[in-house]
Amino acid sequence: MLGANGMPQPQAWWFDPASVELAAQSVQSGGRGSAWFVHGPFGDGVLRHYRRGGAMAKLSQDRYLWGGEERVRSVAELRLLDALQERGLPVPPPIAAAWWRDGATYRAAILVATIPDTHTLASELSAGVENENGWRDAGAMIASFHATGLEHGDLNTHNILFDAARKPWLIDFDKSRLHAKPDRRRVDANLARLERSIHKVGAGQSPTYLQRVIDTLRAGYRSQGEQA
């Protein structure tokens, strides 16, 4: 187990959703049934156990090949969150990472602090909510991450949150990487993935509404570049 900067030494039971002390409640949106809202000595948090998707899930749902501690997915995500938080970017504060090795494979989990009173961009699109200022701010936020060299592993509408003040946040940095500088191809791939998610999640809305969401996000993205 590994604690984030400034956090207390983690305990094994922090990562067990069946622990009575945690009073875990499942997070339903955008995951694979492997995330829980929890509460412990660290405060309010989100516990996520790593799960495979796609074809690899048929071989194993939660085991990965061991390649040393530095390559453990929860450790990589924890350290990336530490680095992004030090840069002042809107990410959930990391708390701790855990892994359980079994021979040539391991399982992993991460614990991050809860961002209070949030909802996802996905929930807005599903309901047809109007939030042009929030969409513009979300575009500017994404640009600020890309400017640091971040390549998000899964930029989609479930991973963009708005808090009670409509401030946007970015979450779920599994398989994300922080490069020395931005790369146009990686940026374009990230934005294309987000636009596919907008169309998928908002399939019940009018094409005009969805295009307005995309155009507003892109306008916010460009405005951040103009300020740089």
Q: Which residues are catalytic?
A: 154
E-only strand ranges, 33-102: 35-40, 43-49, 64-65, 94-102
Q: Smallest Cα–Cα separation from 25: which of 50, 3, 9, 47?
A: 47
Cβ atoms of 138 and 214 within 8 Å: the answer is: no
What is the C-alpha separation between 190 and 199, in angstroms, rounded? 15
Give the list of residues 6+ apart from residue 82 with CB closer than 8 angstroms, or none.
4, 5, 94
DSSP symbol at 110: E
Taken in order 133, 139, 142, 143, the sign of the CA dihedral is negative
Q: Rounded to 10 degrees, what is the CA torsion of 7, 11, 17, 23?
A: -70
> Buried (b) or exposed (e) across 64-96, using 16+ Cβ within 10 A?
beeeeeeebbbbbbbbbbbbbbeeebbbbbbbb
Residue 104's CB: how many other CB atoms inside 10 A?
Answer: 10
- Give me the long-range contacts of 16-25 (CB less than 8 A, separation at least 24): 17/47, 17/49, 22/47
